[in-house]
C-alpha cells in the first residue's frame, strides 16, 4: 500500500467516524410570553366587560341571560389563564367570572358545583404573589364565599 492510499483511507475513516458523532445539542428558543401580546390585554378587557354585563343582568333578575354570557365567555377565560404567568388583570377578570358563576349556582342550590368555583378563587388569591392589600381583600372575599357555601352544604 502506498502512502497516498493510506492517507486517503485514513481521511475516509475519519470522515465516517465524524459522521457518527452525536448531533449538536438543539437550543430551544424561549416561547413568547402571550401576556406581552396586545391581543391578550384586549381579551382581558373583553372578559371584564362581559363580567360587568352578566353581573348587571344577574342583579336585575335576568338569570338566564346572565348564564348565557357566563357560558359564552368561559373559553375566553380559559385562554387567558393558559398563559404561564397570567397578568393580575386577567386573574381578576377570571376571579370575577368564577365568583359570579358560583353565586348563580348557589341561587340554584347547586352547592357542590358552587363550592368548586369558590375554592378556585380562594386558592387563586391565597397563592398570588405579591400579596397586595387588594389581593388580600379578594382572598378574604373568596374565603367568605366558600365558607357560606360550605355552611349551606351542611344544612
Contact status, residue 124 vs residue 95, Cβ threshold 8 Å: yes
Please tell me the distance from the alpha carbon of residue 109 to that of residue 84, in angstroms, as a whole number: 34
Each residue's pLDDT tens digit, 107-133: 999 999 999 999 999 999 999 999 999
Q: Where are the alpha helices (DSSP H) in the chain?
A: 3-19, 38-59, 63-81, 88-107, 111-127, 133-153
Please tell me the distance from the alpha carbon of residue 98 to that of residue 74, in angstroms, as a whole number: 9
Could you tell me the pLDDT band of residue 18, with boundaries at 50, 70 and 90? low
| pLDDT at residue 22 is higher than 70 | no
- Residue 128: name the closest of 140, 146, 116, 115 by CA: 140
Domain ranges within the chain, ordered by starting residue: 38-153
C-alpha separations of 51 from 13, 78, 101 in Å: 70, 14, 10
Please tell me the distance from the alpha carbon of residue 62 to that of residue 55, in angstroms, as a whole number: 10
Stated pTM of the model: 0.79
Please tell me the distance from the alpha carbon of residue 145 to that of residue 118, in angstroms, as a whole number: 6
CA atoms 13, 16, 19, 22: torsion sign: negative
CATH topology for the 38-153 domain: 1.25.40
Amino acid at each position: 500500500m502506498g502512502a497516498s492510499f493510506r492517507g486517503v483511507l485514513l481521511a475516509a475513516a475519519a470522515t465516517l467516524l465524524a459522521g457518527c458523532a452525536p448531533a449538536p445539542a438543539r437550543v430551544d428558543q424561549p416561547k413568547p410570553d402571550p401576556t406581552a401580546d396586545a391581543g391578550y390585554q384586549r381579551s382581558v378587557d373583553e372578559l371584564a366587560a362581559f363580567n360587568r354585563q352578566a353581573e348587571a343582568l344577574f342583579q336585575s333578575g335576568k338569570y338566564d341571560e346572565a348564564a348565557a354570557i357566563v357560558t359564552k365567555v368561559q373559553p375566553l377565560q380559559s385562554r387567558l389563564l393558559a398563559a404561564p404567568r397570567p397578568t393580575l388583570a386577567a386573574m381578576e377578570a377570571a376571579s370575577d367570572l368564577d365568583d359570579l358563576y358560583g353565586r348563580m349556582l348557589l341561587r340554584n342550590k347547586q352547592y357542590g358545583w358552587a363550592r368548586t368555583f369558590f375554592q378556585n378563587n380562594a386558592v387563586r388569591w391565597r397563592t398570588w404573589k405579591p400579596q397586595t392589600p387588594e389581593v388580600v381583600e379578594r382572598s378574604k372575599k373568596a374565603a367568605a364565599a366558600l365558607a357560606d357555601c360550605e355552611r349551606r352544604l351542611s344544612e
